[in-house]
Amino acid sequence: MRPFCTVQELMVLDPLRQSTIVGGWAGRENQISQVVTAVPQLAASDLTNSLVIIRQESQVQDTEATLRTYLHFGAAAILFIGPETVLLPCLAVIAEEGQMPLLAIGKPLEEQEIIFALELVITLKQGNRLIHFTEYSDLNQLAAIGTDLPPLLTKLAVYLQNPVVLVNPAFHIISSSTDETLLDRIEREQLTRLVRFQHYRCKAGELFAKPYLSKLEDSNGGSVSCWVNPLLRDGQLYGYLLVFDVSDHLNPLDICRIKETGIFSLQVLAHRKTIEDTEKKYQDHFLYDLLYNNFVTEESLIQRARHWNWDFSKPQQILIMEPDDLHLLTNKSRMLRELQLNVEDFLQHKYRQVIVTEQQGQIVIIIGDITDDNKTAKQQWKSLGKSLQAYMQEIITDVTFSVGIGKFYTTIADLCRSYQEAKHALDLGRFIQEKGHITHFEELGIIRLLSHMSLEQLDDYYKEYLAVLIEYDEKNDTNFIETLHVYFQQNGDLNLTAEKLFQHANTLRYRLKKIEELLETDLKQLENRINLSVACKIFKMRKTNL
């Protein structure tokens, strides 16, 4: 048997690397062992495993009938050569039906050049060096396409016969191949969401540098494989190149081409991010002035905002979102960036103007152009906070998120007040509720008054009521302070308190009785309960250095 390579393998090298795939690419693994040029006297029996060259100036008549003849007698592929080659649509149809690759190249080409390439590919293949050679051979070809991503992705999709999608680190679609015959826009979006959820569920939000295959179930109950290629540089994630393998037949050369396209896509995204980061510095400077009331007049601020098409002439609402126990996370900056991107992705379809920025380890959300119906809808903003939490919990399952909401104000000059109130609601809400809380500033009650007192006053207050209990806990390791705090959190309900503390109700009664003895107080008296409840809240605040 004569040595051979596949059509796809032959296209690894010039000159066929520069050819255009017209149709029949499903036959890319057809075997080629010889190259022949079509002439009127060409014997059909000589076509088995052949790449047949048809030149524009050749005397081949009735191209459609000739193509069918070559297909019938086992030709592996057809290459049309000529500067102005125009192929009828019916030829591509024939190639598709027969799974015989139909290629075209505009520049003049000699048969011997293709024979030399065939012999070289066979030699590389026999030495197991073809894949290694391929991995480093295509970047110049890709660079010639320019920085426009759709043509780049479409070229890859045509080569793979599979749809291609480029997404950011939050799996929001940046660009995709333009051919919708393989998957339409809605199907691509649905499958991209499935990849995102599976990625975060399986990887637990970790950063994986190597490509991997993800198995998905589509809405029709079928399965689709997706090749996920992370786009990383110097430890920074720029996005993912996704290839939905609808044909379920990606081979090593396909993977090489995906990696090559990924490298060039990474260059484009890195360049874009450099520009975006420069612009972001100006945005952050503006937002700092906005949130800290650092401007001369409202009109001057409104004018500055118009540079980014932001309209601050209308009321805005502020929410702040933060991962709980952020200080314990190993990669805080990546977590905050993913949180910011996912929040933007979630909100941009719900509101006409959404600004999401990171300030001091917290994600600040400014929602603008609010209608009259929303002005006093405190519950609506809490509901939005819950939706945001649920959305993030599906993506990053091992981290909880808390939300603080500021009061609504009608003027931009008061937006700094709403920002400070949202920060207080976020920080102080943890002492009213637990992790994953959603707190509106108006719900803080007496706690928001405490936030304006000096640290010395706060220390004096809690020590006046709790010093004896604190000292007893330190000596006896009893943790009575926590018992008292949970008791107040549960509004004095013994059963709920015992459940929270994992204690028997009788054990809890004994501990509360001992607390009353130590503090010489009666917990049934309302005034005593208020004083001790406030003291417990202050103690927890000070322990957390708030």
pLDDT surpassing 90 at residue 368: no
- Helices of type H across 108-222: 111-126, 130-135, 139-143, 149-160, 185-203
CA-angle at 153, arms to 149 and 159, nearest 5°: 150
Q: What is the pLDDT of residue 147?
A: 54
| Confidence class for position 220, pLDDT limits 50, 70, 90 | low
Average pLDDT over every residue of 131-154: 65
Please give the mean pLDDT across all residues of the chain.
84
| Structure-model confidence comparison of residues 54 and 450, the more confident one | 54
Domains observed in the chain: 5-127 (3.40.1390.20), 137-273 (3.30.450.40), 308-444 (3.30.70.270), 453-544 (1.10.10.2840)
How far apart CA 102 and CA 106 sit, in angstroms, is 14
Percentage of the chain modeled with pLDDT above 70: 89
- How much is the pLDDT for 205? 47
Three-state helix/strand/coil letters over 125-145: HHCCCHHHHHHCCCHHHHHCC
Query: In terms of Cα–Cα distance, which of 228, 257, 260 is closest to 243?
Result: 228
Average pLDDT of 430-459? 81
Residue with tokens 């030149």: 55
Q: What tens digit of pLDDT does each residue of 292-326 get?
A: 988 888 999 999 999 999 999 888 999 999 998 87
Confidence of residue 96 (pLDDT cuts 50, 70, 90): confident
Quote the DSSP letter at residue 46. Answer: G
Report the distance separating Cα 412 and Cα 316, nearest Å: 8
CA 254-257-258 angle, to 5 degrees, is 85
* Least confident span in 8-22, 212-226, 408-422: 212-226
Looking at residues 25-38, what average pLDDT do you find?
89
- Tell me what pLDDT residue 221 has: 67
d(CA 136, CA 145): 17
303-311, Cβ contacts within 8 angstroms, sequence gap of 24 or more? 308/283, 310/353, 310/355, 310/368, 311/353, 311/368, 311/369
Q: Which of 36-45, 60-69, 475-484 has the highest mean pLDDT?
A: 475-484
Mean per-residue pLDDT, 325-337: 80
pLDDT at residue 540, as a whole number: 81
Mean pLDDT of 208-212: 78
pTM to 2 decimals? 0.71
Mean of pLDDT values over 70-77: 83
> Who has greater pLDDT, 66 or 473?
473
- Where b means 16+ CB within 10 Å and e means fewer, 112-134 reads eebeebbebbbebbeeeebbebb
Average pLDDT over residues 3-11: 91
d(CA 344, CA 220): 30
Rounded distance between C-alpha atoms, residue 444 and residue 419, angstroms: 15
- Mean pLDDT for 505-522 is 92
Ranges 14-23, 32-41, 280-289, 364-373, most confident:
280-289
* Position 139 pLDDT exceeds 60: no
Residue 18 confidence (pLDDT) above 70: yes
Asked if pLDDT for residue 464 goes beyond 90, the answer is yes
